[in-house]
Structure 1
Amino acid sequence: MANPPGVRKLLPLLSTPHKAGRSALTCQYRCGNACAHELGNTSDNAYFGDVVKEALSRRGMLRAGALGALVATTGVAGAAPALAGGSASAAAGNGAANGAADSQLSFTPVRPNTDDKLTIPEGYKSSVVVRWGDPVLPGAPKFDFDHQTAAAQAKQFGYNCDYVTMLPMGKDRALLWVNHEYTDETLMFRGYTGGAKATVEQIKIALAAHGGSVVEVERVRGTGQWKLVTSGRRRYNRRITAQTKMRFSGPAAGSDLLKTAADPKGLAPVGMLNNCSGGMTPWGTVLTAEENIDQYFVNGDKVPAAQRPYITRYTITEGVPEESRRFDRVEERFDLAKHPHEANRFGWIVEIDPFDPDSTPIKRTALGRFKHEAANTTLAKDGRLVVYMGDDARFEYIYKFVSKERYIRGNERHNRELLDEGTLYVAKFTGDSPKGDIDGSGTPPKDGEFDGSGHWIPLVSGMKSYVKGMTAEEVLVYTRVAADKVGATKMDRPEDMERNPVTGGVYVALTNNTDRTAAQADEANPRAANKHGHVLEIVEKRNDAGERSFSWSLPLICGDPEDPATYFAGYDKDQVSPISCPDNVAFDRDGNLWIATDGNQLGTHDGLFVMPVRGRERGYLRQFLTVPIGAETCGPMVTEDQRSVFVAVQHPGEIDGASPDKPASRWPDGDQPRPAVAVVWHGEGQKIGS
């Protein structure tokens, strides 16, 4: 591997230049201000049915209820066969000429705004389900902003909330899993000036505020509203933090690259960090994705010389900047000068069993290590498990994992091993238009659509590496380097990936990339200085998730509809809502695409949008809600009965200059802003979107 530029430095707190629509606060705490630093990827690669239900087990009634919730996210019942060179949406029927029906979406879109509230359509209601500091475990005290303790936070709902999923336990009771992506100490503590001057207790609170939560929720009087269960045993409630004991599994478990002084066998990592999006398995466990893990470590330049190029590829911080969180002041393992392999123990997909609060979370090494945004599952036609994943950074890649063995209904012991053996792939995209048609302006090529073909390049299968010069363990621990070597296509921040339960098409949110130049534009990433992002659709051969070849298209190129460099699947742009920076995607049971945004570049707040991807209304994008000042829209999740939609309102009030003494937002309680999960439902009990 060619030596990349020097290890990046973390720039001064709140004074760093930053890009996109985020505040400097968000850039600093969420990703270590990645956009202001040199690129990690310096390779010369081209730019370019119902889920199978398990039989009743020892937790059969609960597990069966949980599996039902997966239909809208992993089931592909009756998915239409893909047309040669076309999209799954077209195969399912697109336009009146094909006799396709309109979607059943009929709400009045929310207008873009800058209000400090959760704005929802007329006829809908909303409420907060759970917020930062709410009690989760027995003995948790009531939240007290000015008297926080690490012991309390370890029992309370964590800070920023991202991925949300529900596991039903009957009609009116469920478990809710929520990721806690990162902490913003400037908003959490009065007078905070950086990790070097933070109190030890503040650092311990931050460690406890990361991770995830399992909480029991219940339906309110048969409506689409849900609330936190606050009485009774609540035996499944759980907090997982940066200090929770975990284990490695899969081919890289026990590798020398994962061994540390505290764990000489390389099998027992501690904690998870920066958990962004996620997914669920057909057997009812959660897959949660570690993303921007680089910012938590210090002294990245002090690792042994042989390791430095790999540390650089993962943009680990140089030196000991005062502005970092300084977790190393509490736990020495975050100092890479002393423990150079500790960073390798983060950046994985973690499997968690919400129904077993005593279970040990598992970091699945067969899925590779990078800045995971999500891990959404489906089944290939022959029953093998498939996991789709994006690496959320500029010019990074799209991956999928295909298990070696097949999913077997009811065989939980067998199924639990599917994520440990299989083949990890990375995507290569090729456009079908002449090079001169793609000039970086976003103007569609002569054939009227950005589309083409592609294939999945194998990286590793078990202990067999397909990458010259790298062992299987190296491919799994340094997956980015392996993808560089095989010539994968550099993408515009690939984030969430979901498979449509009706059409079988796989949709990828590509958030933005203002660093792409016109010379680097390709048909899959057609705009230079792409500040608004786009959505990619992948249709695998024979509509089989297990296949290695696919066709692709861009059904949505985001921005102001009046901008000619935007595209809404051919729908009349006079009718659609403006959208910027797609981040998370989800589907309802009807196959409508729901899109949450992060970093809106159009001057208004982030929100949640919905767009049919087939029929006469394909491309008719409408805004369903907006979030408060400074917040990002996360989640989202539409329940199986389509009577509720959950959104995680992350980092409200995260605006430059904001502090506890000068809050920029008062959401949700009129006091200090608190990240929270909210639910929206129709006031007359109709389906969401009606």
Structure 2
Amino acid sequence: MAVHARGKRSAVTCELKCGNQCAHDVPNTSDNDSFRDVASRAFSRRRMLGGVGGGALAIALAPSMEASAKGRPAGTGKGLRFSPVAPVPADVDAVTVPKGWTWSPVVRWGDPLFDDSAEFDPTAQTEESQLGQFGYNCDYLDVLPLDGNRGRRAVAVVNHEYTNEGIMFPPGTDADTVKRVAMAAHGLSVVELRRQAPGRPWEYVRGARLNRRIHVQTPFALTGPAAGSDLLKTADDPVGRTVLGTQNNCAGGTTPWGTVLSGEENFNQYFVANATPENARYGIPSTPGGRAWWTVDPRFDARQPGYENEVNRFGWIVEIDPEDPDSTPVKHTALGRFKHEGASIRIARDGRAVAYSGDDERFDYIYKFVSRRTMQPGNGKKARAHNKTLLTEGDLYVARFEGDSPASEIDGSGDLPADGAFDGTGRWLPLVRDGRSMVAGMGVAEVLVFTRLAADKVGATKMDRPEDIEPNPVTGKVYCALTNNTNRGVGSNPGVDEANPRVTNREGHVIEITEKGNDAASLTFTWNLLLVCGDESSAGTYFGGYDGPVSPISCPDNVAFDSTGQLWVSTDGQPGTIGLDDALHRVTLEGPDRGKVEQFLAVPREAETCGPVIHDRDGLVFVSVQHPGEDGSWADQHSYFPDYVAPGSLSGGRWGGPRPSVVQVHRA
């Protein structure tokens, strides 16, 4: 485990975040080829353009309506003005921001959300107290306005991915209490925010009407074609339409109709289940270990009669309505079941909703869902009610990438092929279309519940851990963070290809996808690698063709955009790869500075940068700071973020120990 951790995270994070999945055998043992290289064309797109990048071609031929209306291409607007921060060594326990900027917490683990919530006391946490408090290890984040142009009220929606019991609880805490509190600390929080005026920092509001905790006992309604199928029925839910809880929620997305999507990612580690090919493909263990939640809630032991299908009820995209605290959240089976990093929506030209999602596993896939119905404009109750049904029916696809360079030029080093870029074309392969399965031998419900196996059968491209995927709101281009894959080209594992060009890929890359005709519903696309990450002085790195100085960047995780269409990338794993605290970077996408990486902030020691939200017109940047001080213990805490008070002390809600928190960065 320690050897693996040098490829990305600490050994503790590997164990707690995903059940140390990368130390186990690769779940994808399918024999579909990982990539089909296309012979070099006599005139590649780059030769036709005399060396201009494929991304520039797409902009030149088909600029988006949004960019044209603003009179500029993406990534060239003013955006935030800041001097990039220098890289921060991995042992620094501080939030580092640009000169002239400062930061402050918005909400922290344990902050009471309701009038009757218990005050935070890490020495006396109970299940009841945690259910009334902000959860642990915040990940996806969005900050949504509530009062229009007044700009004084907003609501934050935050995922809580996992827990680190070793630094949360003092020694001797009852084992069942530890499990129940940890279970309550998973899920999501919805928190109202207020401030004095636009441009000023936010504060969370205790007891606000919209405040809500969603957790492992919250009822969820199953929607879509697989709802009610035999594969989703259990002893507690014989009709297969109601699931209790959500867990290991990673990234997400905010829909154009104002709801929030959340991805259930490493759900496998919470179960023990019978040894079946389907469970093995999802990495679900058949021997007890890990968190052992089944000792306090029997449904997590899927070996028991009546609970065999409980594992099938996790691994979905969840949708919640932050404006209605009484609404029932849903799990959308139409989007498929896998380790969803998140889901992000773009509206196609014909009005259908298109959701992009990555399966965060070594050698797994990139997916797209296209709704059957079209979105209704406006924010009225009728339109909103209709739009909240868009993800219940539609077509599901998985991506296949093809390169335009000879296989001999993709040698695993990361060096560019002769045409000067890693690029090519791609297709969206149908899994479900027009309500019918497109996979031989599998019905619709089987395709949606066992989506990984369906994608194996159709020959999707095995990628280097697809994490966050988001369309650029200005250009429509789609960007996917491929965080890393230290197994690429090792032993019997798949070798390199043009979309995944490095063996033992420790530092990851970012891929840019341009749908044909710039239409999200298209079934073909072109692609190129925008970044091949690492320190610019290292061999095998690439920064979009930019040849000036850049900030080092490794293990891209979440992506976001500002109002000008520039890309922002947060990282998860820099301490183990380039010896630096994880960070948030801005990346220019067009013009002579395409590929220029500028570091905006760094998070504290042993923490991960998650959920970036860029409100550049308001002069604010938000991030979730996850697992600060991860490698510590109760007696030897490694971080004192965000309160930085005396170690072990507790006063006025401030604690001398690490508390995962949402922070805001603003002018000093």
TM-score strictly above 0.5: yes
Counterpart position of 2:648: none
**What does residue range 669-680 of structure 1 map to in structure 2 within 5 Å?**
669-670=643-644, 671-680=656-665
User: 1:426-470, CA deviations, whole angstroms, 9 ceiling, x for partnerless residues?
Assistant: 000000001111011111000000000001001013641000000
Counterpart position of 1:510: 482
SS in 2 for 1:520: coil
TM-superposed deviation, 1:415: 1.6
Q: 2:156 aligns with which of 157, 176, 186?
A: 176
Q: Does 1:185 align with 2:165?
A: yes
Counterpart position of 1:206: 182
Q: Tell whether the 8 Å contact from 1:88 to 1:504 is kept in structure 2 after alignment.
A: no
Q: Residue type of the partner of 1:180?
A: H
Counterparts of 2:168 and 2:395, CA distance in 1? 42
Counterparts of 1:333 and 1:465, CA distance in 2? 30
Counterpart position of 1:39: 26
Q: CA 1:26 to 1:280, structure 2 compared with 1: closer, same or farther past 3 Å?
A: same
TM-superposed deviation, 1:555: 1.1
Q: 1:659 aligns with which of 625, 633, 639?
A: 633
TM-superposed deviation, 1:167: 1.6
Counterpart position of 1:383: 351
TM-superposed deviation, 1:87: 4.0
Q: Does 1:295 align with 2:269?
A: yes
User: 1:270-297, CA deviations, whole angstroms, 9 ceiling, x for partnerless residues?
Assistant: 0001000000111111111000000001
Counterpart position of 1:542: 517
Q: Residue type of the partner of 2:326?
A: D
Counterpart position of 1:64: none
Counterpart position of 1:57: none
Q: 2:610 aligns with which of 613, 626, 634?
A: 634
SS in 1 for 2:13: helix
TM-superposed deviation, 1:106: 4.3
Q: 1:109 aligns with which of 80, 84, 96?
A: 84
Q: CA 1:86 to 1:45, structure 2 compared with 1: closer, same or farther past 3 Å?
A: farther
Counterparts of 1:427 and 1:15, CA distance in 2? 33
Q: Tell whether the 8 Å contact from 1:497 to 1:507 is kept in structure 2 after alignment.
A: yes
Counterparts of 1:238 and 1:444, CA distance in 2? 49
Q: Does 1:431 align with 2:396?
A: no
TM-superposed deviation, 1:640: 6.6
Counterparts of 1:400 and 1:213, CA distance in 2? 27
TM-superposed deviation, 1:17: 5.4
SS in 2 for 1:641: helix
**What does residue range 94-133 of structure 1 map to in structure 2 within 5 Å?**
102-104=76-78, 106-114=81-89, 115-133=92-110
Q: Residue type of the partner of 2:11?
A: A
SS in 1 for 2:180: helix
Q: 1:163 aligns with which of 126, 140, 143?
A: 140
Q: Does 1:362 align with 2:330?
A: yes
Q: Does 1:345 align with 2:308?
A: no
Q: Tell whether the 8 Å contact from 2:113 to 2:205 is kept in structure 1 after alignment.
A: no
Q: CA 1:175 to 1:618, structure 2 compared with 1: closer, same or farther past 3 Å?
A: same
Q: Tell whether the 8 Å contact from 1:224 to 1:682 is kept in structure 2 after alignment.
A: no
**What does residue range 115-514 of structure 1 map to in structure 2 within 5 Å?**
115-170=92-147, 171-191=151-171, 199-230=175-206, 233-301=207-275, 308-321=276-289, 324-338=290-304, 339-410=307-378, 411-461=383-433, 463-514=435-486
Q: TM-score, normalised by structure 2?
A: 0.89
Counterpart position of 1:69: none
User: 1:170-200, CA deviations, whole angstroms, 9 ceiling, x for partnerless residues?
Assistant: 21110000000011111111237xxxx9621
Counterparts of 1:107 and 1:229, CA distance in 2? 30
Q: Tell whether the 8 Å contact from 1:18 to 1:35 is kept in structure 2 after alignment.
A: no
Q: Which runs of 5+ in 1 are unaligned?
A: 1-13, 49-82, 302-307, 684-690
Identity in percent: 53
Q: Residue type of the partner of 2:126?
A: T
Q: Tell whether the 8 Å contact from 2:581 to 2:603 is kept in structure 1 after alignment.
A: yes
User: 1:468-518, CA deviations, whole angstroms, 9 ceiling, x for partnerless residues?
Assistant: 000000000000000000000000000001111222110000000010017
Counterpart position of 1:92: 59
SS in 1 for 2:243: coil
Q: Residue type of the partner of 1:164?
A: L
Counterparts of 1:99 and 1:176, CA distance in 2? 31
Counterparts of 1:418 and 1:299, CA distance in 2? 33
Q: Residue type of the partner of 1:469?
A: G
Q: Residue type of the partner of 1:660?
A: W
Q: Residue type of the partner of 1:157?
A: F
Q: CA 1:664 to 1:627, structure 2 compared with 1: closer, same or farther past 3 Å?
A: same
Poorly superposed stretches of 4+, deviation over 3 Å = 14-19, 85-94, 98-103
Between stretches 456-465 and 276-285, larger displacement belongs to: 456-465
Aligned pairs, number: 616
Counterpart position of 1:564: 539
Counterparts of 1:151 and 1:438, CA distance in 2? 55
Counterparts of 1:15 and 1:436, CA distance in 2? 34
Counterparts of 1:17 and 1:621, CA distance in 2? 27
Q: CA 1:343 to 1:19, structure 2 compared with 1: closer, same or farther past 3 Å?
A: farther
Q: Tell whether the 8 Å contact from 2:76 to 2:566 is kept in structure 1 after alignment.
A: no
TM-superposed deviation, 1:300: 3.7
Counterparts of 1:430 and 1:198, CA distance in 2? 54
Q: CA 1:508 to 1:108, structure 2 compared with 1: closer, same or farther past 3 Å?
A: same
**What does residue range 69-80 of structure 1 map to in structure 2 within 5 Å?**
none
Q: CA 1:19 to 1:243, structure 2 compared with 1: closer, same or farther past 3 Å?
A: farther
Q: TM-score, normalised by structure 1?
A: 0.87
Q: Tell whether the 8 Å contact from 1:19 to 1:36 is kept in structure 2 after alignment.
A: no
Between stretches 32-41 and 632-641, larger displacement belongs to: 632-641
Q: CA 1:431 to 1:204, structure 2 compared with 1: closer, same or farther past 3 Å?
A: same
Counterpart position of 2:66: none
Counterparts of 1:16 and 1:556, CA distance in 2? 26
Counterparts of 1:544 and 1:361, CA distance in 2? 30
TM-superposed deviation, 1:166: 1.5
Q: Tell whether the 8 Å contact from 2:76 to 2:564 is kept in structure 1 after alignment.
A: no
Q: Tell whether the 8 Å contact from 2:394 to 2:435 is kept in structure 1 after alignment.
A: no
Q: CA 1:407 to 1:640, structure 2 compared with 1: closer, same or farther past 3 Å?
A: farther
TM-superposed deviation, 1:560: 0.9
Counterparts of 1:93 and 1:616, CA distance in 2? 14
CA RMSD of aligned residues (A): 2.0
Counterparts of 2:237 and 2:303, CA distance in 1? 17
Q: Tell whether the 8 Å contact from 1:294 to 1:314 is kept in structure 2 after alignment.
A: yes
SS in 2 for 1:147: coil
Q: Residue type of the partner of 1:362?
A: V
Q: Tell whether the 8 Å contact from 2:535 to 2:578 is kept in structure 1 after alignment.
A: yes
Counterpart position of 1:30: 17
Counterparts of 1:102 and 1:526, CA distance in 2? 29
Counterparts of 2:254 and 2:54, CA distance in 1? 25
TM-superposed deviation, 1:389: 0.2
